[in-house]
């Protein structure tokens, strides 16, 4: 029923646990597609051990990789997951029930940040409230979409960052998104590496500048500092 597409680049520290989790919870008929952007670590070798997964290689770029994964997808619905996002069996069950009952076009999950620190409860609450209010999730929320609708809007625009924001902007014009009220677990590694406040402020500034028309190629220089 669902094709799960995971773009990777140097994700050797996360991809194994992500795939182990997925193959414990998916059902017959689901598929997992890992699209690697010529990783320079052991990502491809680790993913290759999971013979149940489709492993393909693409020119590096998350939009390019996700689009290639969508082209390889055989199921009616596609779920795009970051390599450091863990989805539960409950999430998948609720999504499938919603698909069967209402034939939804696209949507997302709330997030749960994988740290016990109080500051992350505040951040995830803010992120989930913003997303529910605006109907505009980011990629770490686990965006899912009916394959026909995905190709109708042209997939993810081939831009270095902000591709998920632009994709959601296009798909919202055709179909209202649905939030599946079971959270996916998202890594806080970026916050831990670059600092909570610095990462939070930088991401918001970059999004505001993007909405004001600053080219993604220009913003990429600052985005890379918090990777």
Tens digit of each residue's pLDDT (9 = 90 or more) over 156-173: 999 989 999 999 999 999
pLDDT for position 203: 87
Number of domains in the chain: 2
Q: Is the pLDDT of residue 227 over 50?
A: no
Q: What is the dihedral of CA 203, 205, 211, 216, to 10 degrees?
A: -60
Residue 31's pLDDT band, with cuts at 50, 70 and 90, is very high
Q: Report the CATH number that the domain containing residue 166 is assigned in CATH.
A: 3.90.550.10
Mean pLDDT in residue range 108-117: 97
pLDDT of residue 224: 59
The mean predicted confidence, pLDDT, of the chain is 94
Backbone angles phi, psi at 116, to 5 degrees: -80, -5
Check whether residue 143 and residue 210 sit in a common domain: no
Same domain? For 183 and 225 the reply is no
129 and 93 housed in the same domain: yes
What average pLDDT does range 183-204 have in this prediction? Answer: 90
Put residue 187 in one of left, alpha, beta given phi > 0 → left and psi -120 to 50 → alpha.
Answer: beta
Q: Is this prediction's pTM over 0.85?
A: yes
Residue 206 and residue 150 share a domain: no
206 with 217, same domain?
yes
Q: How many Å apart are CA 127 and CA 67, to the nearest integer?
A: 26
Per the structure, the complete domain to which residue 76 belongs is given by: 2-187
- Specify whether 198 is located in the same domain as 181: no
pLDDT recorded at residue 225: 47
């Amino acid at each position: 029923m669902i094709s799960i597409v995971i773009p990777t680049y140097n994700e050797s520290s996360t991809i194994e646990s992500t795939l182990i989790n997925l193959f414990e919870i998916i059902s017959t008929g689901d598929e997992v597609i890992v699209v690697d952007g010529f990783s320079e670590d052991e990502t491809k070798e680790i993913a290759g051990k999971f013979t149940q997964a489709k492993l393909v290689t693409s020119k590096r770029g998350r939009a390019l990789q996700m689009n290639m994964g969508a082209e390889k997808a055989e199921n009616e619905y596609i779920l795009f997951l970051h390599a450091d996002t863990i989805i539960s069996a409950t999430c998948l069950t609720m999504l499938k029930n919603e698909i069967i009952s209402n034939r939804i076009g696209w949507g997302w999950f709330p997030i749960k940040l994988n740290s016990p620190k109080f500051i992350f409860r505040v951040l995830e609450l803010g992120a989930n409230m913003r997303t529910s209010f605006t109907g505009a999730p980011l990629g770490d929320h686990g965006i899912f979409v009916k394959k026909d609708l995905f190709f109708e809007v042209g997939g993810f625009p081939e831009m270095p960052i902000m591709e998920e924001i632009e994709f959601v902007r296009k798909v919202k014009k055709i179909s209202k998104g649905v939030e599946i009220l079971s959270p996916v677990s998202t890594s806080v590694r970026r916050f831990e590496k670059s600092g909570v406040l610095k990462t939070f402020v930088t991401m918001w500034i970059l999004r505001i500048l993007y909405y004001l028309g600053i080219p993604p190629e220009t913003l990429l220089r600052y985005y890379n500092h918090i990777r």
